[in-house]
Structure 1
Amino acid sequence: MAGDAPLIAALKAEALALGFADIGITAAGAVPQAGARLRRWLADGCHGDMIWMENRADERASPAGLWPEVRSVIMLGTSYAPPLDPLRLAGQGDTGVISVYAWNRDYHDLIKKRLKTLARWLVGQAGGDVKVFVDTAPVMEKPLAAAAGLGWQGKHSNLVSRSHGSWLFLGAIYTTLDLAADAPHADRCGSCTRCQTACPTDAFPEPYRLDARRCLAYLTIEHAGPIPAEFRGPMANRIYGCDDCLSVCPWNRFAKATEEPAFLPRAELTAPKLAELLRLDDVAFRALFSGSAIKRIGVARFIRNCLYAAGNSGAAALLPAVAAHLGSDDAVVAEAAAWAMDQLEGAT
């Protein structure tokens, strides 16, 4: 509302002071089309094994579905733009590639703490009730962020910002306050198709639509079983996530590398050697990835990914490290080791 201008100006200044890179406001009902798109995506099975998305579809479809009292949604972005080229390790078969977002601390805790701080400030200034969310709740962060003016959903389906490229973590504050909304952001992808053609597994059946079942980020992180044979080769040396579609976005040239200490790359995670990773047991895995998002997938799934990468490496020196997993109690790991052995022995 017009009288909100001083409050909103102060809110935005407070958000930037807390370390957020961008903030915008939208009405809770601003993206009615998002629910229909979600249901079509789910009906087509594009969510793969992520059954929780199907189970809570009604809550995810709109902010009011999750919290009927919500009137406004405050969307916030935190930059994790990398200081290193995410594609620099392509072709270095003995080295694993970890997605940029996991190069250091798990972002959930940091961002949620800041969201709570900002939400408390808002309640102290204007009252109302609030709820805060970062990634794990059934919230349509990307459409809401676009409606709030932070950017637009690119053809890779992620948010693109004119200032921060494809490198924004998103968080949301739902409030019962009826706040004046910012203008939504226009789509500025134009005729560019770089993200579409960069995908190593053709995971985009059409622009703006991702089939998770073909996405290496999904397959290496969310998928628990053996990765289908057709995707193992295209994995190359990716062992946790995939940033190819994000990395090639032309808007990244305007992104300044993050200065957030929690997101600055840890040296041991930016170019880890597969031979060392394949030696990890559960205790060593938990120690190496303490505080990291990687820890949540567990050592078995991580070793599975490393074995596929080893099989793609062409490096005979990795044979002993691979062979050590042939007798694994985990059937998926043992099968991945056998596959990797076949690949390496066939390459020698």
Structure 2
Amino acid sequence: MRVWASELGFSQIGVADVDLSSAEAGLLDWLARGFHGEMHYMAAHGLKRARPAELVPGTVRVITARMDYLPQATPEGWQTIEWDRMARPLDATVSVYARGRDYHKVLRARLQTLSDQLAAHLGPFGHRVFTDSAPVMEVELASRSGLGWRGKHTLLLSRDAGSTFFLGEIYVDLALPVTPPETAHCGACQSCMDVCPTQAIVGERQVDARRCISYLTIEHGGPIPLELRALMGNRIYGCDDCQLTCPWNKFAQRAQVPDFDARAVFDAPTLLQLWAWDEATFLRTMEGSPIRRIGFAKWQRNIAVALGNAWRTTGDEAISTALRQWLDRPPEGIDLELVGEHVRWALQQR
């Protein structure tokens, strides 16, 4: 199975038991504190997330898989390159994982192929594949199956690959031998907690999504909270700060598949270039990208916040001109109230 997985672009696989009862109390506490924000599906599924056999009846094991996503051409010192980009207010920062093809599509198809290969070898069996697409405790299952350990930023960490990878699962009704879990290796380090721009990591292995820039730019549907806008800098989709500062990411691996190579538009994007897009351009350019999922209004909302931060910092008149032109001729078919509120805020930043 490992050979087949490697041929499909997976870097590591494991097998976890389905008894996640020890994780239930932590999940319920996280939900009770409202840390899931507007991700109402997290609460709607309740403990089904920690009970794989309730999500897919008959499940007795979960095959876990890791797929690295750093673009193949990523140079050494890539973290420094990303920090430098964030230090240039007029540049646009998009999370590294989102610069290529939508990982949901890539992993799901390859997990299904792996399942088909297993069925051809073992005979038909009950299974279902997942990639960040259902109430699945991905990090919990991955850590229990030896793919790594949960870091203080809540992401899975591997001694061999840092945290720059996606996770996928195959729920199966086969009693496969489980693989042993990995021990934690964060020690006293809390670099991820210290570097978070919005202090969203409120405790070890606890993130308040309502403060997380990844959540705010992707999942959150309404206005960005006023007190967090200036802290977002030029991050317009996702946030990699906690990964960039993590010492274990000196071992980050390049992707084995070309799907995650960065699109040309993300080589050196500027905020003003992206702001000039109309909806048709956004939809066409982001075809097959995870970014397309947030829609044009949230895309413009995020860029408007970044432009406000750049206007405050640089005083570049091209920014205020572009924002005022938007107010004079707002695009059709967009949530004018949502985006307009952020445009007006941006103009008030200087």
Task: Report if TM-score (shorter chain) is over 0.5.
Answer: yes
2:226 paired residue number: 229
1:338 paired residue number: 344
Gaps of 5+ in 2: none
Residue 316 of structure 1 and its aligned partner are, at CA, apart by 2.5
1:119-198 to 2 correspondence within 5 Å?
Answer: 119-127=115-123, 128-198=125-195
CA contact (8 A) 1:98 1:270 kept: no
Within the candidate set 30, 37, 48, 1:48 is matched to 37
Distance 1:103 1:265, change over 3 A: same
Code of the aligned partner of 1:139: V
1:324 partnered with 2:325: yes
Deviation sequence 1:196-235 (CA, Å, 0-9, x none): 0010000011111000000000001111111001110010
Code of the aligned partner of 1:152: W
2:303 paired residue number: 306
Deviation sequence 1:7-54 (CA, Å, 0-9, x none): xxxx1111111110110111111x322222111111100000000111
Distance 1:81 1:206, change over 3 A: same
Mapped partners of 1:239, 1:271: distance in 2: 14
Within the candidate set 65, 68, 79, 2:68 is matched to 79
Mapped partners of 1:148, 1:133: distance in 2: 16
Mapped partners of 2:299, 2:288: distance in 1: 16
Code of the aligned partner of 2:64: M
2:112 paired residue number: 116
1:7 paired residue number: none
CA contact (8 A) 1:94 1:274 kept: yes
Give the SS at the match of 2:183.
Answer: coil
Give the SS at the match of 1:137.
Answer: coil
Deviation sequence 1:240-277 (CA, Å, 0-9, x none): 00000011111111123224211111231243111111
Mapped partners of 1:240, 1:34: distance in 2: 30
1:247-326 to 2 correspondence within 5 Å?
Answer: 247-313=244-310, 314=314, 315-326=316-327
1:26 paired residue number: 16
Residue 101 of structure 1 and its aligned partner are, at CA, apart by 0.9
Residue 98 of structure 1 and its aligned partner are, at CA, apart by 0.2
Code of the aligned partner of 1:79: D
CA contact (8 A) 1:308 1:336 kept: yes
CA contact (8 A) 1:303 1:333 kept: yes
Mapped partners of 2:32, 2:46: distance in 1: 11
Mapped partners of 1:339, 1:150: distance in 2: 44
2:55 paired residue number: 66
Mapped partners of 1:316, 1:58: distance in 2: 52
Mapped partners of 1:259, 1:270: distance in 2: 20
| Identity level (%) | 43
Code of the aligned partner of 1:164: A
Distance 1:35 1:271, change over 3 A: farther
CA contact (8 A) 2:164 2:253 kept: no
Pairwise CA RMSD: 1.3
Give the SS at the match of 1:178.
Answer: coil
Code of the aligned partner of 1:95: D
Code of the aligned partner of 2:341: E
TM-score, structure 2 normalization: 0.92
Give the SS at the match of 1:339.
Answer: helix
Code of the aligned partner of 1:28: V
Mapped partners of 1:235, 1:271: distance in 2: 19
Moved more, 46-55 or 308-317: 308-317
Give the SS at the match of 2:193.
Answer: helix
Mapped partners of 1:77, 1:19: distance in 2: 9
Residue 57 of structure 1 and its aligned partner are, at CA, apart by 1.7
Residue 105 of structure 1 and its aligned partner are, at CA, apart by 0.7
Mapped partners of 2:147, 2:18: distance in 1: 16
CA contact (8 A) 1:46 1:213 kept: yes
Mapped partners of 1:80, 1:282: distance in 2: 28
CA contact (8 A) 1:108 1:135 kept: yes
